Amino acid sequence: MRVQALIFDVFGTCVDWRRSVAREVAKVLPQVDALAFATAWRAEYDPAMARIRGGERGYVALDDLHRENLQRVAAEFSVSAPERLAHAWERLDPWPDVVAGLTALKARHVIAPCSNGSIALMTRLAKHAALPWDCILGAEIAQDYKPKPQVYLASCAALRLATDQVMMVAAHNDDLFAARYAGLKTAFVARPTEHGPHQTTDLGPESDWDVIASDFHDLATQLTP
């Protein structure tokens, strides 16, 4: 059966969170190393979700985790960050190939984020970055966080598609291993500067993913018969 829907990791895969968050940090905290602050903030992301994945804490939207993490990182940097800086994650810029690639893919497929971001966050980010999603899927409709299988399964169920009719697109091999485990098709698109010029992880595919693409233009070309 042909893949009918493509669902996407967003932070890192569709948008350059590192330089975009650093830009927002620089606006309100000119006294800190903005790239270091952005990196430290992002580093709090997975541990915050881990407590929810593990059942220690009920589902809390990523907007709130970002806000909590912001205060922790600000304390580490010995600054006081305004609460509104948490909205920096709604103003991330897309990688240069993303909008045109998604627009081409949308002609033949349903396209949607399958991110750990909330519906509100993904909606506002899409408006900022002009991401032409058909709908918003991901963590909030599953009330849990990737890479838990139910996040991928809830996204397929919301589209009323079988898992093998849906392809997960990500720049992170771990995301694709989890999606494959849940039964989805997989596509890898490398983002070798997501973590800056000295990135050491996810520089290439670590398995025989169904599609391995150089960018979203290439992904669209490979999926067009």
> Does residue 95 touch a copy of itself according to CB under 8 A?
no
> Does residue 169 touch a copy of itself according to CB under 8 A?
no
Nearest to 21 by CA among 115, 97, 86, 96: 86
Q: Binders of a copy of itself among 27-86, rule CB under 8 A? A: 61, 63
For residues 80-115, b (16+ Cβ closer than 10 Å) or e, as one string? ebeeebbebbbbbebbebbbebbebbeeebbbbbbb
Nearest-angstrom CA–CA distance, 37 and 133: 30
Which of these ranges, 32-40, 51-59, 73-81, 155-163, lies near a copy of itself under the rule CB under 8 A?
A: 155-163
> Does residue 110 touch a copy of itself according to CB under 8 A?
yes
Question: Judged by CB under 8 A, which of 40, 79, 104, 120 binds a copy of itself?
Answer: 120
- Residue type at position 37: F
> Does residue 151 touch a copy of itself according to CB under 8 A?
no
Nearest-angstrom CA–CA distance, 73 and 83: 12
Question: Judged by CB under 8 A, which of 99, 119, 153, 190 binds a copy of itself?
Answer: 119
> Does residue 9 touch a copy of itself according to CB under 8 A?
no
Question: Judged by CB under 8 A, which of 20, 69, 118, 173 binds a copy of itself?
Answer: 118
